[in-house]
Amino acid sequence: MSTVAWITARGLFGRRRFLMLFPLPLLLVGLATTSRALGVDPGQWGQPVLVGLGLAVVLPVIALIVGTGVLGSEIDDGTVVHILTKPLPRWQIILPKLAVAVGVTALTAGLPLYVAGVLAHSVRFGLALAAAATVGALAYSAIFLALSLVTRRPVLLGLVYVLIWEGLLGNFVSGTRVLSIQQYVVALADRLAPTGLLETPVSVPVAAVMSVVAALGFTWLAINRLRSFSMAGETS
């Protein structure tokens, strides 16, 4: 484990605010357990809990908080200069940070999704959800990490993407779903374990290719931006 990854992980978990990450996954597991215990048909609660909460809220919001936090909080308080002044190639800074972000996101979002998937259908469905969520975590984290280098307000811009693009427009203008990580995750999970609980207009090859393109493209963008990064003062 490289030093950069170590520092990043400590920055994430060393403070109390990482506790903020836990209510969302707990809620997901709690709702799935309650529905299962009361004998509600999974065909009814699967959609609101697994997609409505799990894939549309828990995964992107955790990826947003973690993904913008791994680099963004260091930029915010200025300590990023300590890393930038070390003779490290920029990819050796971006990749460990991305790995930590993906790992934490995949763990905190994938684990509850696995549990909820098992409760909804089968172990295979749970594993499919967790695997798809990991792919989603990779793409989301790459996007949000790059955002924290492109703009001074990465969280708000990320929220625009999650809330307005995926949430609002995805419901009304179906064409935007082709460019939505959430739909890729649904498509991949449905391909890995066809259950009839998930549905999406996006085809599996498109989802797989676009996820990889997003992950690689935004990682490259982040490395490239860090090459010419300049510290600026606080925005007004």
Partner 1 sequence: MSEPSGVIHDIGYQRYTGPRLGRRHVFGALYLHGLRTAFGFGRSAKAKIFPWLVVGILVVVAAGVTAVRAQAGVVIMTYAQFPDVMSWLVIFFVAVVAPELVSRDLHSGVLPLYFSRPLPRGDYVLAKLAALFTALWLLLGAPQLLMFLGAAFSRDDGMKGVAEELGDVLPGMLYAGLWAVVFGAIGLLIASLTGKRAFAAGGIVAVFLMTTPIVGTLSIMPSQTVNELALLASPPTLVQGVGVWTLGDLLVPPGTEDTVRIGDFGPLYAVVLVAVVAGAVALLLARYRKVATS
Q: Report the interface residues with partner 1, using CB under 8 A.
A: 17, 20, 23-24, 27, 31, 34-35, 38-40, 44-45, 48-49, 52-53, 57-58, 61, 64-65, 68-69, 72-73, 76, 152-156, 159-160, 162-164, 167-168, 235-236
**Residue closer to partner 1 (CB basis): 15 or 86:** 15
Provide, for the chain, the percentages of residues in helix, strand and coil under a 3-state DSSP scheme, each rounded to the nearest 5: 80, 0, 20
Cα–Cα distance measured from residue 88 to residue 84, given in angstroms and rounded to the nearest whole number: 8
Cα 171 from Cα 180, distance rounded (Å): 12
Which of 75, 214 has the CB closer to partner 1?
75
Min separation Cβ 208 and partner 1, Å:
27
CA separation (Å) from 151 to 11, 123, 214, 217?
21, 41, 18, 17
Q: Which is nearer to partner 1, 27 or 208 (CB)?
A: 27
Cα angle 46, 167, 30 (rounded to 5 degrees) comes to 35
CA 47, 170, 57, 192: dihedral to nearest 10 degrees? 60
Taking CA atoms, 83 is separated from 5, 89, 178, in Å, by 12, 11, 37
Query: Closest approach of Cβ 64 to partner 1, in Å?
Result: 6
Of 62 and 222, the one with the shorter C-beta distance to partner 1 is 62
How crowded is residue 110: how many other Cβ atoms within 10 Å of its Cβ?
Answer: 25
Question: Min. distance of Cβ 214 from partner 1 in angstroms?
Answer: 21
Q: Which is nearer to partner 1, 158 or 207 (CB)?
A: 158
Whole-number minimum distance, CB 168 to partner 1, in Å? 5
- Closest approach of partner 1 to the CB of residue 225, in Å: 18
Residues present in the chain in total: 236
